[in-house]
């Protein structure tokens, strides 16, 4: 199977000479081939998106929303198929894949609703017989650059608000996960989305991503990926005065206080640390535990980790799938080595798994370190794999300080039954998302999603806040006095 670009409503072969193979991380089997695109392919896509946008912006928003309702309906109809492709391509276990596809469906319906809201403001004018209001205006052609770990959900968080607001888009999916983008293109086509509203260009970040950011007709770049790449995107975008929205890495922590329900905390940690094999931007990578419950938590975590089943995510009984590729596997194992060198104590895991069929894929054993120093590399850097570090603290203040000590600011969580501690924590934890008595993952699509510090640059995906990325505020003054009234002139 060879995947072609989707440009201007038709399937077009990319101009690059090279193909890349899409491999199933669970077993190394080839799933598809993709021809890499060039700068010229991007220009073609931008041209078609620009032409389409003029008409699309004039379609009433509730009518634009009708396409989203249809896209949501089709996604629902194909949910099992999409989930299976997602698991094969990305590796996450099938129940998580179904959850991710459902997020996309929810986003379609939620953003379709915005077609009948998209509120602006009407405010009194300071002058007689004058009317003042603000409206959200579309921006034009927007560029979407997405990572492999949520190949559908993140694309829907970006593309659905973009189109309901009257923009058209070029989407460059991650090179590891083009098949989900291809599946979405089929759905856009079947939903009858006018040609040129949705464009998908496959290719590398360096060639296609850069061409999108530098193209003068792409007005917004919405990026999700690593902090390293995001910085580069922001620098390049900044030079071209682009509006750049960045959602980047994380080093998220669960705080377990001395009054916590430990069983619940264990469940929350397991799910948010080892779900998606730790490859979520919101994955729990640190556990900040109060001295009085440290030993109990360690024992219970080690016990609970023993029963986690690892394997191909298509097997319904498997809880942890593979990591995305060999490079990721080596990076994770490298961090385990760093942890040992730094003097952290390995309580469980720490190995690349190669027994039987696991040797064909990229599997890492769920890993738990304790006695980790808060300022060590293990505790500060994003690993993006199933590795958790326990850090001991003796008070809530210290826990918050340790949580906030990292350069990222995506998600945090606290397990405590003391309402005073909980309220102080939700105020003082410096992340964009805070959970109480739950792990660090589990965002809902109708709330803003994003982070502070090295995780973001002030924008948000998801929720109504996503519309801020894809619209400009336009202030409109209508004078019906029949004479020239001069505002900003002090007549007193």
Q: Which residues bind ligand NAD (CB under 6 A)?
A: 145-150, 154, 172, 174-175, 205-206, 209-210, 224-226, 229, 232-233, 247-250, 281, 382, 384, 410, 451, 455
Instruction: Please state the separation of Cα 136 from the chain's center in Å.
Output: 24
Contact (Cβ atoms closer than 8 angstroms) between residue 314 and residue 357: no
Out of 70, 103, 183, 247, the active site residue is: 247
Tell me how far, at minimum, the Cβ of 31 lies from ligand NAD, in Å: 17
Sign, CA torsion 185/168/87/359: positive
284 is an active site residue: no
Which of residues 322 and 451 has its CB atom nearest to ligand NAD in the complex? Answer: 451
Which of residues 14 and 174 has its CB atom nearest to ligand NAD in the complex? Answer: 174
Which of residues 120 and 442 has its CB atom nearest to ligand NAD in the complex? Answer: 442
Tell me the residue length of the chain.
492
Element containing residue 79 per DSSP (H, E):
helix 79-90
CA geometry: angle 364, 365, 371, nearest 5 deg: 115
Tell me how far, at minimum, the Cβ of 111 lies from ligand NAD, in Å: 17
Tell me how far, at minimum, the Cβ of 143 lies from ligand NAD, in Å: 9
* Alpha helices (H) in 130-202, listed in sequence order: 153-164, 178-190
Tell me how far, at minimum, the Cβ of 338 lies from ligand NAD, in Å: 17
Which residue is at the shortest CB distance from ligand NAD?
205
Contact (Cβ atoms closer than 8 angstroms) between residue 175 and residue 203: yes
CA within 13 Å, CB half, 167: 31
Which of residues 168 and 285 has its CB atom nearest to ligand NAD in the complex? Answer: 285
Tell me how far, at minimum, the Cβ of 372 lies from ligand NAD, in Å: 20
Which of residues 134 and 325 has its CB atom nearest to ligand NAD in the complex? Answer: 325
281 is an active site residue: yes
Tell me how far, at minimum, the Cβ of 176 lies from ligand NAD, in Å: 7
Q: What is the C-alpha to C-alpha distance for residues 429 and 404, in angstroms, rounded to an integer?
A: 7
Which of residues 177 and 370 has its CB atom nearest to ligand NAD in the complex? Answer: 177
Out of 281, 298, 365, 382, the active site residue is: 281
> At 275, phi and psi to the nearest 5?
-60, 145
Q: What is the C-alpha to C-alpha distance for residues 489 and 492, in angstroms, rounded to an integer?
A: 9
Return left, alpha or beta for 44; rule: phi > 0 is left, psi -120 to 50 is alpha, else beta.
alpha
- C-alpha torsion angle, residues 187, 189, 193, 195 (rounded to 10): 150
Sign, CA torsion 434/435/441/445: negative
Residues designated as active site = 247, 281
């Amino acid at each position: 199977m060879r995947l072609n670009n989707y440009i201007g409503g038709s399937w077009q072969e990319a101009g690059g000479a090279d193909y890349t193979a899409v491999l199933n991380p669970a077993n190394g089997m080839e799933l598809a081939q993709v021809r890499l695109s060039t700068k010229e392919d991007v220009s073609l896509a931008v041209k078609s998106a620009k032409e389409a946008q003029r008409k699309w912006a004039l379609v009433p928003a509730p009518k634009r929303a009708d396409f989203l309702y249809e896209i949501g309906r089709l996604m629902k109809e194909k949910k099992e198929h999409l989930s299976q492709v997602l698991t094969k391509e990305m590796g996450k276990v099938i129940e998580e894949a179904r959850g991710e596809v459902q997020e996309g469906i929810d986003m379609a319906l939620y953003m379709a609703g915005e077609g009948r809201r998209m509120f602006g403001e009407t405010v009194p004018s300071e002058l007689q017989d004058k009317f003042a209001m603000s409206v959200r205006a579309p921006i034009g052609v927007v560029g979407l650059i997405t990572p492999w770990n949520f190949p559908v959900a993140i694309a829907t968080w970006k593309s659905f608000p973009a189109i309901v607001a009257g923009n058209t888009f070029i989407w460059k999916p991650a090179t590891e996960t083009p098949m989900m983008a291809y599946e979405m293109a089929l759905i856009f086509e079947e939903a009858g989305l006018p040609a040129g509203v949705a464009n998908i260009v496959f290719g590398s970040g360096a060639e296609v991503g850069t061409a999108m950011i530098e193209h003068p007709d792409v007005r917004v770049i919405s990026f999700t990926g690593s902090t390293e790449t995001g910085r580069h995107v922001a620098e390049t975008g900044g030079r071209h005065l682009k509006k750049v929205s960045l959602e980047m890495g994380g080093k998220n922590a669960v705080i377990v206080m001395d009054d916590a329900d430990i069983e619940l905390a264990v469940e929350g940690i397991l799910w948010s640390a080892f779900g998606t094999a730790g490859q979520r931007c919101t994955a729990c990578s640190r556990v900040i535990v109060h001295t009085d419950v440290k030993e109990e938590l360690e024992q219970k975590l080690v016990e609970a980790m023993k029963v986690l089943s690892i394997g191909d995510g298509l097997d319904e009984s498997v809880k942890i799938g593979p990591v995305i590729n060999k490079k990721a596997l080596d990076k994770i194992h490298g961090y385990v080595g760093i942890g040992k060198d730094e003097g952290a104590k390995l309580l469980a895991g720490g190995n690349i798994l190669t027994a039987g069929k696991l040797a064909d894929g990229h599997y890492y054993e769920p890993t738990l370190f304790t006695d980790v120093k808060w300022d060590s590399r293990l505790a500060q850097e994003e690993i993006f794999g199933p590795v958790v570090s326990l850090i001991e603290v003796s008070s809530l203040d210290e826990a918050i300080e340790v949580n906030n000590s990292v350069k990222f600011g995506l998600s945090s969580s606290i397990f405590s039954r003391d309402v005073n501690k909980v309220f102080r924590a939700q105020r003082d934890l410096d992340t964009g998302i805070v959970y109480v008595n739950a792990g660090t993952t589990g965002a809902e699509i109708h709330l803003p999603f994003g982070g502070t510090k090295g995780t973001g640059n002030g924008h948000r995906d998801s929720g109504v806040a996503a519309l801020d990325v894809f619209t400009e505020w336009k202030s409109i003054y209508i004078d019906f006095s029949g004479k020239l009234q001069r505002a900003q002139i002090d007549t007193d």
